[in-house]
Amino acid sequence: MSKKKESGIVISQREIADGIFDLWINTDISKTAKAGQFVGVYPANGAMLLPRPISICKVDKDNNALRLVYRVAGKGTLEFSFLKKGDRIDVLGPLGNGYPVDKACGKKVILMGGGIGVPPLLEMSRVLKDLDDNKKPSEVSIVMGYRNSQDFLADEFRENGQFYVATDDGSLGVRGTVIDALNKENIEGDVIFACGPMPMLRAIKKYAGEHNMEAYISLEEKMACGVGACLGCVVKTRDVDAHSHVKNARICTDGPVYDARDVEI
Amino acid sequence: MNTKVTIAGVEFKNPVMVASGTFGSGQEYGEFADLNKLGAVVTKGVANRPWEGNPTPRVAETSSGMLNAIGLQNPGIDVFVERDIPFLQQYDTKIIVNVCGHSIEEYLDVVERLSDEKIDMMEINVSCPNVKEGGIAFGTRPDALFEITKEIKKKSKQPIIMKLSPNVTDITEMAKAAEAAGADAISLINTLTGMKIDIHRRCFALANKTGGLSGPAIKPVAVRMVYQCANAVKIPIIGMGGIANAEDAIEFMMAGASAVAVGMMNFHNPYATMEVVKGIEDFMQKEKIEDIKDIIGIVK
């Protein structure tokens, strides 16, 4: 554990799809960051005080850099979208638990992402690819869902596994959801790692349950502190949580990644 | 240079505390703040049994502040006594436990359980705006506040702080009621009840519809209320509401607070408490203030 808040330096930023930005930041947080974790990014505008939780798309330890791919969703992320090389940006992290990479060992893995839930799976796909042979999954299928043909990060995913795509408008791959793509393309697996909007995660929880698969899903909620103090971002859990002693777990610290069986979503 | 302050016979190494609910039980900020350097840790509110709290979304950002409607989720006094108090006892800081309940009986349950624990003070939360029953009802009527304060004083072995709500017509009436009933100190302000609507989704930003507003947006209101109460009662005041730095803390003390608490700004800057402690020392040095107590209520 080594969370910190520090001033990072923007290495580069570009818009890779409508309203989707690809931001590289030089920060020591990269030293300990893992796939599935996130950072809190602070707007410079003093009227916006809370950190914006943004998932980590890539960790480049050699260059002390983190890659964040985010969607402009409000005033805070709009401010971030104007950041240029050399600008400073305050970042808190690394936050959250990350994906349990060991669960992939020897298994047929399916990575599933939807919308702005796509980016954290890129780091996960890279981590799985770079694992030692005795820890590697036997197979990696990557199923990403987009609104339309703006399939950001798709080319990079193709380097890390068998890639499938689903789009809402049918302009690429299977028309429909990532679950539709699983069915249509007959993709099979033992364990799913996922991130995306709540309806998609609910569908994955259900699918995994019906097919006797494990699923590790990354959840999202409005957050304040990001470090487990305020109890703002909780999710209902199946069992009484060890920390809260009620059926609530903190997404920022106990999550954001949960075994789908453990959460009531 | 003396930074020590004394409230109801309890000596604090400096006047810097944290506001209940913004610092967990201290552990969550252990990577950022050295708890040994704090005057006191004020814990998240604890009830006589576990509380689930409200549905999400529980938080929403607003201009220079935030709304919250956590609903006092807490693990209950049993877990608190076994886990959180021993954790805090490892540190050289004072422990103030915030107590919540739905009825006088529930408050008294917790107060009695805490009476034999090694804690320094209790802060009684009669002002949370996010809990449907009890709680706030005690904090918005002087007679009800008097009654609960009196009952708690009968059972408590530690000095008690009554935490006041700003959601009243005249906060000095509440301060006077607490004092008359024997409260050892008061803390203020709790959050201001507010609301935010998401115009695109046409819904409330919080599942609870209303929430408590905190952060720098409420600081001028808080300073005013501390000043008013300092002129209305003789018991010490712990001031809070949007404190972000040492300048803010000193402002509260000059208005009449004997100690201050950093709340929502911990979320913006997890190092805020440490910076306030250091900044007060720097200010004292620069302004040649020998004793921090000399500035309490200095602005008349």
Chain segment B24-74, per-residue pLDDT in tens: 989 999 999 999 999 999 999 999 999 999 999 999 999 999 999 999 999
> What tokens appear for A68 in the block?
């964040």
Provide the chain A residues 85-104 that lie in CB contact (below 8 A) with chain B.
92
User: In 3D, which of A257, A147, A249, A76 has the Cα closest to residue B268?
Assistant: A76
- Residue A136 pLDDT: 96
Q: Would the CB atoms of A244 and B44 count as touching at under 8 Å?
A: no
* Residues A74-129 pLDDT 10s: 999 999 999 999 999 999 999 999 999 999 999 999 999 999 999 999 999 999 99
Decide if B300 is inside a domain.
Answer: no
Q: Mark whether A65 and A114 lie in a shared domain.
A: no
* pLDDT of A19 over the 80 cut: yes
pLDDT confidence bin for B127, thresholds 50/70/90: confident
The CATH number covering residue A23 comes to 2.40.30.10
Q: Does B59 touch chain A (CB under 8 A)?
A: yes
Q: Chain A within 8 Å of B83 (Cβ-Cβ)? A: no
Would you tell me which residues 193-252 of chain B have a C-beta closer than 8 angstroms to some C-beta of chain A? 215-216
Chain A residues touching residue B266 (CB < 8 angstroms)? 225, 229
Closest chain A residue to the Cα of B266, Cα to Cα: A225
Average pLDDT over residues A143-170: 97
Asked if residues B39 and B93 have their Cβ atoms less than 8 Å apart, the reply is yes
For residue B24, give the nearest of A229, A234, A246 by CB distance: A229
Q: Output the pLDDT for position B129.
A: 63
Contact call for A231 and B58, based on CB within 8 A: yes
Q: What is the largest CA-CA distance in chain A?
A: 51
**What residues of B are labeled active site?**
128
Q: What is the pLDDT of residue B139?
A: 87
Lookup: tokens for B169: 């017509």
Q: CA-based Rg of chain B, rounded to a whole angstrom?
A: 18
Taking an 8 Å cut-off on Cβ atoms, the answer to whether B265 and A49 are in contact is yes
Quick one: A181 and A106 in the same domain?
A: yes
Interface test with B, best of A1, A92, A231, A241 (most B CBs within 10 A): A231
Chain A CA closest to residue B211: A232
Residues from chain B that touch A1, judged by Cβ atoms under 8 A, are 31
Q: What is the pLDDT of residue B137?
A: 73
Within-domain flag for A234: no
Q: Is residue B124 part of a domain?
A: yes
| Residue A246, domain member (yes or no) | no
| Residue A237 covered by a domain | no
- What's the rounded mean pLDDT across residues B282-294? 98
Q: Are residues A24 and A107 in the same domain?
A: no
Q: Which residues of A touch B68 (CB under 8 A)?
A: 224, 230, 232
My answer on whether A152 and A201 are in the same domain is: yes
Residues A158 and A186 in one domain: yes
Q: Is the pLDDT of residue B287 over 70?
A: yes
Distance from CA of B222 to the nearest CA of A (A): 18
Query: Which positions in chain B touch A247 (Cβ < 8 Å)?
Result: 52
State which residue of chain B sits closest to A244, comparing Cα positions: B75
In a domain, A56, yes or no: yes
Q: Please give, rounded to a whole number of angstroms, the shortest distance from the CA of B217 to a CA of chain A.
A: 9
Mean pLDDT across chain B: 95
Domain boundary among A60, A95, A130: A95
Phi, psi of A195 (to 5 degrees): -155, 140
CB contact under 8 A, B58 and A3: no
Contacts of A246 in chain B (CB under 8 A): 50-53, 73, 75
Q: Looking only at Cα atoms, what is the longest distance across chain B?
A: 56
- Its domain, for residue B11, covers 5-295
- Name which of A1, A245, A247 is nearest B76 (Cβ-Cβ): A245
Average pLDDT over every residue of A27-45: 97
**pLDDT at residue B234 tops 70:** yes
> Looking at chain A, which residue has its C-alpha nearest residue B25?
A229
Q: Does residue B191 belong to the interface with chain A, where contact is any CB pair within 8 Å?
A: no
- Mean pLDDT calculated for residue range B105-109: 95
| pLDDT tens-digit series, residues B172-184 | 999 999 999 999 9
Chain centroid to CA B155: how far? 21
Query: Is some CB atom of chain A closer than 8 A to the CB atom of B299?
Result: no
User: What range does the domain containing A187 cover?
Assistant: 101-220
B24, B50, B66 ranked by CB distance to A50: nearest: B66
Q: Give A2's pLDDT tier (boundaries 50, 70, 90).
A: confident
Residue A39 maps to a domain: yes
pLDDT over 60 (residue A261): yes
pLDDT at A18 over 80: yes
In a domain, B274, yes or no: yes
Q: Which residue among A42, A227, A232 places its CB closest to the CB of B68?
A: A232
Burial of A61: CB neighbours in 10 Å, binned 0-12, 13-18, 19+: exposed
Lowest-confidence region among A61-70, B61-70, B137-146: B137-146
Task: Provide the pLDDT for residue B225.
Answer: 98
What's the gap in Å between the CA of B295 and the closest CA on chain A?
Answer: 29
Which of A2-6, A22-26, B23-27 holds the top average pLDDT? Answer: A22-26
User: At which of A36, A64, A95 does a domain end?
Assistant: A95
Residue B208 lies in a domain: yes
Strands (E), chain A: 4-17, 20-26, 38-41, 52-55, 58-60, 65-71, 88-95, 108-114, 139-146, 162-167, 174-175, 191-195, 214-218, 234-236, 248-250, 257-259
Contact criterion met (CB below 8 Å) for B34 and B11: no
pLDDT at B133: 58
| pLDDT score recorded for residue B130 | 59
| Cβ-nearest to B31 among A3, A42, A246 | A3
Q: Is the ipTM of this complex over 0.90?
A: yes
pLDDT over 90, % of chain B: 94
Q: Of the candidates A47, A227, A232, which has its C-beta nearest B28's C-beta? A: A227
**Residue B98 scores a pLDDT above 80:** yes
Given this model, what pLDDT does residue B134 score?
58
Place of tokens 């914006």: A52
Which of A35, A61, A95 is the endpoint of a domain?
A95
pLDDT at A1 (0 to 100): 53
**Confidence at residue B77, expressed as pLDDT on a 0 to 100 scale:** 97
Minimal Cβ distance to A234: which of B32, B56, B271: B56
CA distance, residue B226 to nearest chain A CA (Å): 24
What SS3 string covers A56-69?
CCEEECCCCEEEEE
* Same domain, residue pair A147 and A86: no
User: Is residue B198 situated within a structural domain?
Assistant: yes
pTM of the model: 0.95
Q: Which residue has the tokens 């003390």?
A: B253
Domain count, chain B: 1
**Which residues does chain A have within 8 Å of residue B75's beta carbon, measured at their own beta carbons?**
243-246
Same domain, residue pair A105 and A216: yes
Do residues A235 and B28 lie in contact, with contact meaning Cβ atoms separated by under 8 Å? no
Q: Do A230 and B267 touch (CB under 8 A)?
A: yes
B235 domain residue, yes or no: yes
Question: Are B58 and A222 inside 8 Å of each other by CB?
Answer: yes
Domain count, chain A: 2
Closest CA relative to residue B117, chosen from B171, B152, B62, B156: B156
Average pLDDT over residues B219-234: 98
Q: What is the DSSP letter of B51?
A: B
CA distance A197 to chain B (A): 15
User: Cα distance from B48 to chain A (closest Cα, Å)?
Assistant: 13
Q: Which of A222, A239, A251 to mutate to test the interface with B (most CBs of B within 10 A)?
A: A222
Q: What is the CATH number of the domain that holds B111?
A: 3.20.20.70
Contact with chain A for residue B21, Cβ under 8 A: yes
Lowest-pLDDT range of A20-29, A241-250, B215-224: A241-250
